[in-house]
Amino acid sequence: MPHNRRKGDRLRAGERRERALELSLAGRSLRQIGAELGISHSRAGDFIREALAESAERRGELADKLRERELRRLERLIASLDPYREDPAAANTIIRAGERIAKLHGLDAPARLEHSLAGPDLSALSDEQLATLEAWLAGDAPEGVLELPPAPPPQGNGNGRNGHPPG
């Protein structure tokens, strides 16, 4: 009999985790959620974190199943087109399906992107200016204009590949 009781406790705990998440989504505080569920506010937070983790795990499982189904579909497509691989249209479709398979397996190297940010030279700021900037970013700065040093000149070789035009 204790085994059935534990199963019922797990079921109730799962329902309470789900309810805690619903209440959180409705804008309730942890204290309000705890009071409604008859648990502490810290346990309410635990329930919400557990529910989110379960949801993420479930989404991962569903994504894996979908990925496997798509891979099988692409493999069948390639197998069905193989006898016609000399035809340019069929060959093109086989190549595109192979590229999609590589993406689904994560075989393609990520694209390298270069980012540059032209902005003020913050290293030239005094401690007082840095404190004012931090207050301004936090929304606690006094009214007025924040004076910052000019941006440094762009660095690059002038070939246009670093985000700056040649010249």
pLDDT value of position 137: 77
- The beta-carbon contacts of 116-123 under 8 Å, at least 24 apart in sequence, are 116/154, 116/155, 116/162, 116/163, 116/164, 118/151, 118/152, 118/154, 119/151, 120/148, 120/149, 120/150, 120/151, 121/149, 121/150, 121/151, 121/152, 122/148, 122/149
pLDDT value of position 114: 75
pLDDT value of position 144: 64
pTM beyond cutoff 0.75: no
Mean pLDDT by 10 residues, the chain (167 residues): 49 82 90 92 91 86 90 94 93 94 83 70 76 76 64 57 51
pLDDT value of position 9: 52
